[in-house]
A and B are shown apart, each in its own frame.
Chain A
Amino acid sequence: MEEKYSSNVLSGGKLGMVEVPNSRLTRYIVLLVVTKVLKALGIFESYDILKVVHIVHFIFILKLGSAVILLFFQKPFSSGKVISKRQWIKLLKHAVFSCVISLLGFFGLTLCGPLRTLLLFEHSDVVVIALLGVLFTSSGGGPSKTRGAALFIIAVICLLLFDNDDLMAKMAEHPEGHHDSALTHFLYTAIAFLGVADHKSKVESWSSLILPFGMIIFSVMILEFYVEAVCSAKMETPRCARYGTIALFLSALLLANFWTHPLTDQLRSMSKPPQQVSTEHVLSGGVLVSAVFFIMSSSILSSPSKKGQKGTLVGYSPEGTPLYNFMGDALQHTSQSLPRFIKESLKQILEEYDSRQIFYFLCLNLAFTFVELFYGVWTNSLGLISDGFHMLFDCSALVLGLFAALMTRWKATRIFSYGYGRVEILSGFINGLFLMVIAFFVFMESVTRVLDPPNINTDMLTPVSVGGLLVNLVGICAFSHAHSHGGKSCSSHDHGHSHRHGHGGHGHSHGSGGGGMNANMRGVFLHVLADTLGSVGVIISTILIRQFGWLIADPICSLFIATLIFLSVIPLLKDACEVLLLRSPPENEKDLNSALEKIEKIEGVLSYRDPHFWRHSANMIAGTIHLQIMSDVVEQRIVQQVTAILKDAGVNNLSVQVEKEAYFQHMSGLSTGFQEVLAMTQQMETIKYLKDGTCIM
């Protein structure tokens, strides 16, 4: 059953897993729960044993015991297939790895106690795989898995931060000591495995340990192995994992509560006087919360994903079953590796002037920021660190601009049928809004400071603001360079275009391109300008405060700067809005009007309607127009004339619909709604009247 549906990506609510009713599986579940409780018991016991027995001895005995028992039960050499040489190598690898893992696990047990070890270590493979899938692949399997992973991470964080185990205190006291001891432990391990040197041990009588060891071997290794195997054969693996984990964690919690209790001392097979105070590794709020989170996350993560992948319905097969197209999946396969992607986009960035400028300035800015942050952390100066974060915040605008400049050159797709040129304008708009927000916050802050001027420590301010000013001045130079070159580079760009397309719009490329740089670059430039103003303001106010002790100078400076930023952003926002609202481009308005006049004068053209012209991106003005012509004129000629005229006016993406009277007749014949035809014919008629009237007179 499992295999059948797990391969079906579409298993939705109705098609989903066929769950076997719990009643039939009760005995297996009970078996599993009992086993897990025993396992928890075994782990707790081994924690006690590990206090007296060295870890290497312990693992050696554990492995030896389980190996003997398994050998006796499984008879690997006498029955079954012969193991090949390759399999032997695999076995060897597996053995080494599992040894290392159990060594680490039990080492952890000695450090942080049985409960925390169980919480962190004993997760079923299903859970771990689901977690890794959510964290490292994009299609994790729906929101529930993401939630599970988030819970898991929160649980780990809870355990790390909020669990005030005394271990943490020890760790804090000797931060270096533990690494050292771990290393020595590994060394000891290696030596002890070779059997050269005998490690001294605190054990007085090995005989008293036989029973506990037998118990541990039985519960932790043998019983768990068999029961897991049986349960995953009879139940589904996820369900098995869910019940097992819940049972394990709950019993661990209970045991942790009662382990140090005097009642359990009798239960303990090792009746030794506790060496330490019983407050060691007790329950705490943090560990409780994290245990709850762990239980929840493992039950979420181990539940089979009910939702399939996202697919778009493309149609129905002849049998009537729906067919889906898995776009996401296809995209995932085609996406290249990350380093390659970075390399490619870096190359693209460096190709063009605009994006190269932004990129270099971004690098400079980031370098300055990190120097500032580093220095701030080193000298433990909070002002520097917060200023560094502020710079990072500003860098986000640059990143946006860079991304937009990169995107602008992407090829047109089905969805972006005009190409990505408009992204630049949108990014300019967003940058404008960004600046507005910044101006608003600065304004608010300075208003509160005018009312209550705080005492400012000016020691650190001057070098930082001078550094920022220098960086920003470099930026201003670079971008104003771009500004002055904007027209030129743009026109040369157009020149290249016009070479390809003949020489239609060459004369006008200067007119349209010379209007200044594009919205994106303007946004970035304004941002840098605002930063520079900020630095200048800080320097001036610092001087004023130092010289005259005017504390109010600082907020007044910021007020002034906020106003300046606000005022400088308005034109950018206005232009971007106009483009986004599909206004007909103001700089071409005159040309367009005269072009429309010219079109009316073309012989055979009766009239035009619905002239739409709008700037799509920095170097594309699109337009559509409907023309009514006499029935005896060749449409293609009119189309060409109109295209040529509008091309002269700067429109370089044009659609002309040429309609004769026959068209309206056909439309009415095709019975496209009575009202539409009515409107159309009336329009046609009114035009006709006018024209006729003028012609007769």
Chain B
Amino acid sequence: MAMDGMMSTSSGLSYHNVGDFYPRKFGPKPDVVPSGVTERKVGPLDKPDMVSVDVININDSDVHMHRKKHEHDTYVLGTIHPFRKTHRSIFGKLVQEFRLVSSDRRSWRILLFGALNLLCTGCLLMWCSSTNSMALTAYTYLTIFDLFSLITCLISSWVTMKKPSQVYSFGFERLEVLAVFASTVLVQLGALFILKESVERFMEQPEVHTGRLLVGTFVALFFNLLTLLSVRNKPFSYVSEAASSSWLQEHVADLSRSLCGIIPGLSSVLLPRMNPFVLINMAGALSLCITYMLIEINNYNAVDTASAVAIALMTFGTMYPMSVYSGKVLLQTTPSHIIGQLDKLLREVSTLDGVLEVRNEHFWTVGFGSLAGSAHVRIRRDANEQLVLAHVTNRLLPLVSTLTVQIFKDDWTRPLLTGALSSSASIAPLGPAEGYAALSSSSLPPMLMSSGGELDPLTSTPAKPSSPPPEFAFDTPGRNVQPVVLPAPGHHAHRPYGGLGLPYGAPPYTGMMNQGLARPGGGLGLGVQGLGAGYGLGVSGSGVPSSQSYRTAFGGSTAPLRFGTGNPLASQSQYRQYRP
């Protein structure tokens, strides 16, 4: 309820901003672009580092991903495809996919059982029409359901072979869910049909021939149990465990609990709850046996219809929880058993420093199990976006595998400081430093001041001057552009870094209090930021070893290096290189 309000306001807000922003985008901006880009890209110093660091051997999947990414990019970039491949016929595609699936040995077994099942279903349908028994028909539908479940099994093995395509960007795991949903719904519709037929039969009960009734029952029971117990059906076993128990299961569990009080040995079989498919097959067979007996003894033909209704109701009861579960996955809902955990994580996230609120949180399951989600995190205007993003992602990633976090600030267009030149100069370099300062305790500023000197050697690395100047160029909104952009390229080329921050830093240092605290960090540049990062990690409680945090800090502001520092060992060795 509160969330509704939040969501609506946020969307309204963002759209509003878009409207505001639109005209400006095509205004002065493009002039600035080329210089920024070229500046950024031509970094001859970067190159050797990257190559030298790139010692990690790439395994198969990565190559694949890389190639795919490449293809994907070129596909997106090129708008015109003069020689698009002609679509193969649907049948041809099906045959191809089928060949893909049948290449696996395991699916042979499924196919074998499918063929058996088809045979059995055909036989049963014939017997149904010969006995004229509604109950047997209802039971036959369970056999047909087994056929569906085998198809689902095939689909799930196909799904594991398929990689996400551009159109189906989440992959095909959902097909499994859809197959489960469709088969449970189809069986329920069949049960509905049985109900309707039974109502019609109640008015005029035809005679039921019991000749093949018992035979059919046992054949169907045998095949169903064989299929259920010998084919490992991953999606259905998952759903039957994850879904809430059906009324049939509940009653059986309740009965068997009292039974296990008498015979404790049975508890391993009967408790906590039985496999719903086995259960419904047994119950259906039992009711058919009763039907047979009553018809044989007393010639109560109406019992057949009654037991058909009973089987249909049991089918409903068994399938309904599963279709609800898979339907909820299809509806992109947050799974209710995750909510507690998720809430805890979101609460943690909202207590991170700089985070004001988390809104528009959407979490849902892609296939069975894997969670995807997105959230908008509103942060303080002076917080470091990347740091917060990293922390939020770090918290949520263990639970939510496909995560997108949008960080946003309220009126970021309004400059933090009022001074024309100083504001544009100070925002960008200050951002990271402040983030660290905010994360670390209040005792940091003096430390920063003192430690700046020690870390000074680091600042003489050749890589770092590349980062600040373009920020000046891009960050300046609107009318502030001109005065700042011009000096930027000049600084970039030859100016020592230590001198860079200080001239800009001086005026705001006196101007604003909280900025002033962190200002030395910005002014002193790299080393100090690094220390801040170390503190930030310490505060966040992840207990990082000092060398690693140091490494992080180091990479924190050097653009070229950080591409190579995925490997901690490599980065450390690299770091050693830079030691004078």
Q: Is A671 an interface residue (CB 8 A)?
A: yes
Q: Given the interface contacts A504-B15, A577-B178, A624-B404, does A691 sit within 8 Å of B562 by beta carbon?
A: no
Complex contact A502–B42 (CB within 8 A):
no
CB distance from A687 to the nearest CB of B (A): 8
Q: Within the assembled complex, what's the spacing in Å between the Cα atoms of A594 and B196? A: 52
Q: Within the assembled complex, what's the spacing in Å between the Cα atoms of A616 and B333? A: 11
Complex contact B185–A634 (CB within 8 A):
no
Complex contact B374–A634 (CB within 8 A):
no
Q: Is A63 an interface residue (CB 8 A)?
A: no
Residue among A434, A501, A655, A662 making CB contact with B374, cutoff 8 Å: A655
Complex contact A416–B331 (CB within 8 A):
yes
Q: Mark interface residues in A587-619 (1 if CB within 8 Å of B CB, else 0).
A: 001000110110010011001011111101000
Q: Is B4 an interface residue (CB 8 A)?
A: yes
Q: Is A322 an interface residue (CB 8 A)?
A: no
* Chain B minimum-CB-distance residue to A606: B40
Which 9 pairs of residues, A with B, have the shortest CB-CB distance?
Answer: A669-B552, A681-B566, A666-B390, A632-B471, A695-B41, A655-B374, A501-B15, A603-B33, A632-B470
Q: Is A635 an interface residue (CB 8 A)?
A: yes
Residue among A436, A616, A636 making CB contact with B332, cutoff 8 Å: A616
User: Among the interface residues A422, A503, A641, A668, which one has the most CB atoms of the partner chain B within 10 A?
Assistant: A668
Complex contact A414–B50 (CB within 8 A):
no
Q: Given the interface contacts A437-B193, A631-B471, A636-B409, does A666 sit within 8 Å of B77 by beta carbon?
A: no
Q: Within the assembled complex, what's the spacing in Å between the Cα atoms of A470 and B251? A: 47
Chain A contacts for B42, CB-based, 8 A = 695-696
* Chain B minimum-CB-distance residue to A687: B69
Complex contact A669–B56 (CB within 8 A):
no
Complex contact A142–B405 (CB within 8 A):
no
Q: Is A658 an interface residue (CB 8 A)?
A: yes
Residues from 403 to 430 in A contacting B, C-beta threshold 8 Å: 411-412, 414-418, 420, 422-423, 426, 429-430
12 A-B pairs within 8 Å (CB atoms) are namely: A390-B196, A582-B366, A597-B79, A636-B409, A644-B21, A644-B22, A658-B407, A661-B563, A670-B540, A682-B62, A685-B54, A686-B69
Complex contact B251–A643 (CB within 8 A):
no
Residue among B175, B375, B562 making CB contact with A655, cutoff 8 Å: B375
Chain B contacts for A5, CB-based, 8 A = none
Residue among B47, B427, B542 making CB contact with A671, cutoff 8 Å: B542
User: Among the interface residues B62, B189, B467, which one has the most CB atoms of the partner chain A within 10 A?
Assistant: B189
9-residue interface stretch from B115-123, B162-170, B275-283, B448-456: B162-170
Secondary structure type dominating chain A contacts: helix
Q: Is A684 an interface residue (CB 8 A)?
A: yes
Residues from 377 to 397 in A contacting B, C-beta threshold 8 Å: 382, 385-386, 389-390, 392-393, 396
Residues from 346 to 396 in B contacting A, C-beta threshold 8 Å: 360-364, 366, 374-376, 385-387, 389-391, 393-394
Identify 5 new A-B residue pairs, CB closer than 8 A, beyond the known A389-B196, A672-B394: A412-B3, A501-B11, A661-B562, A666-B389, A683-B69
Residues from 279 to 306 in B contacting A, C-beta threshold 8 Å: none
Complex contact B406–A581 (CB within 8 A):
no
Complex contact B62–A659 (CB within 8 A):
no
Residue among B247, B334, B474, B557 making CB contact with A415, cutoff 8 Å: B334
For B, the interface residue count at a CB cutoff of 8 angstroms equals 138
9-residue interface stretch from B94-102, B197-205, B210-218, B230-238: B197-205
Chain A contacts for B362, CB-based, 8 A = 417-418, 622
Complex contact A685–B564 (CB within 8 A):
yes
CB distance from A604 to the nearest CB of B (A): 6
Residue among A389, A640, A656, A665 making CB contact with B199, cutoff 8 Å: A389
Complex contact B50–A685 (CB within 8 A):
yes
Residue among B21, B37, B332, B339 making CB contact with A418, cutoff 8 Å: B332
Q: Within the assembled complex, what's the spacing in Å between the Cα atoms of A97 and B374? A: 65
Residues from 302 to 335 in B contacting A, C-beta threshold 8 Å: 327-328, 330-334
Q: Mark interface residues in B25-51 (1 if CB within 8 Å of A CB, else 0).
A: 100011011001110111000110010
CB distance from A152 to the nearest CB of B (A): 15
Q: Within the assembled complex, what's the spacing in Å between the Cα atoms of A132 and B407? A: 56
* Chain A minimum-CB-distance residue to B334: A415
Q: Within the assembled complex, what's the spacing in Å between the Cα atoms of A610 and B192? A: 43
Complex contact B79–A610 (CB within 8 A):
no
CB distance from B357 to the nearest CB of A (A): 15
Q: Is A679 an interface residue (CB 8 A)?
A: yes
Chain B contacts for A662, CB-based, 8 A = 386-387, 390, 432, 556-557, 562
Residues from 95 to 150 in B contacting A, C-beta threshold 8 Å: 129
Complex contact A386–B17 (CB within 8 A):
no
Complex contact B192–A393 (CB within 8 A):
yes
Complex contact B189–A632 (CB within 8 A):
no
Complex contact B77–A600 (CB within 8 A):
yes
Q: Given the interface contacts A583-B167, A665-B562, A666-B552, does A426 sit within 8 Å of B327 by beta carbon?
A: yes
Residue among A586, A640, A684 making CB contact with B17, cutoff 8 Å: A640
Chain B contacts for A657, CB-based, 8 A = 389, 403-407
Q: Is B263 an interface residue (CB 8 A)?
A: no
Residues from 184 to 200 in A contacting B, C-beta threshold 8 Å: none
Q: Given the interface contacts A415-B334, A632-B36, A657-B404, does A143 sit within 8 Å of B251 by beta carbon?
A: yes
Chain B contacts for A597, CB-based, 8 A = 76-77, 79
Q: Is B555 an interface residue (CB 8 A)?
A: yes
Q: Given the interface contacts A434-B189, A437-B193, A672-B394, does A678 sit within 8 Å of B567 by beta carbon?
A: yes
* Chain A minimum-CB-distance residue to B33: A603
Complex contact B333–A581 (CB within 8 A):
no
CB distance from B238 to the nearest CB of A (A): 18
Q: Within the assembled complex, what's the spacing in Å between the Cα atoms of A642 and B491? A: 30
Q: Is A630 an interface residue (CB 8 A)?
A: yes
Q: Is B520 an interface residue (CB 8 A)?
A: no
Residue among B11, B12, B189, B203 making CB contact with A382, cutoff 8 Å: B203
Chain A contacts for B363, CB-based, 8 A = 417
Complex contact A603–B332 (CB within 8 A):
no
Q: Is B240 an interface residue (CB 8 A)?
A: no
9-residue interface stretch from B220-228, B503-511, B543-551: B543-551
Chain B contacts for A580, CB-based, 8 A = 174, 178, 330
Residues from 567 to 591 in A contacting B, C-beta threshold 8 Å: 577, 580-584, 586, 589
CB distance from B408 to the nearest CB of A (A): 6
Q: Is A488 an interface residue (CB 8 A)?
A: no
Q: Is B274 an interface residue (CB 8 A)?
A: no
Chain A contacts for B47, CB-based, 8 A = 692
Q: Is A129 an interface residue (CB 8 A)?
A: no
Chain B contacts for A417, CB-based, 8 A = 3, 332-334, 361-364
Q: Is A647 an interface residue (CB 8 A)?
A: yes
Residue among A434, A596, A634, A672 making CB contact with B76, cutoff 8 Å: A596
Q: Is A633 an interface residue (CB 8 A)?
A: yes
* Chain B minimum-CB-distance residue to A629: B474
Chain A contacts for B566, CB-based, 8 A = 664, 668, 677-678, 680-682
CB distance from A73 to the nearest CB of B (A): 42
Q: Is A500 an interface residue (CB 8 A)?
A: yes
Q: Is A448 an interface residue (CB 8 A)?
A: yes
Complex contact B408–A636 (CB within 8 A):
yes
Q: Within the assembled complex, what's the spacing in Å between the Cα atoms of A617 and B491? A: 52
CB distance from B545 to the nearest CB of A (A): 9
Q: Is B93 an interface residue (CB 8 A)?
A: no
* Chain B minimum-CB-distance residue to A436: B186
Chain A contacts for B192, CB-based, 8 A = 393, 396
Q: Is A164 an interface residue (CB 8 A)?
A: no
Residue among A613, A640, A690 making CB contact with B18, cutoff 8 Å: A640
Complex contact B391–A666 (CB within 8 A):
yes
Q: Within the assembled complex, what's the spacing in Å between the Cα atoms of A507 and B430? A: 40
Q: Given the interface contacts A634-B428, A671-B542, A678-B566, does A655 sit within 8 Å of B19 by beta carbon?
A: no
CB distance from B315 to the nearest CB of A (A): 14
Q: Within the assembled complex, what's the spacing in Å between the Cα atoms of A596 and B78? A: 11
Q: Given the interface contacts A426-B331, A501-B12, A695-B38, does A603 sit within 8 Å of B168 by beta carbon?
A: no
Q: Is A510 an interface residue (CB 8 A)?
A: no
Residue among B65, B73, B470, B565 making CB contact with A668, cutoff 8 Å: B565
Q: Is B7 an interface residue (CB 8 A)?
A: yes
Complex contact A581–B174 (CB within 8 A):
yes
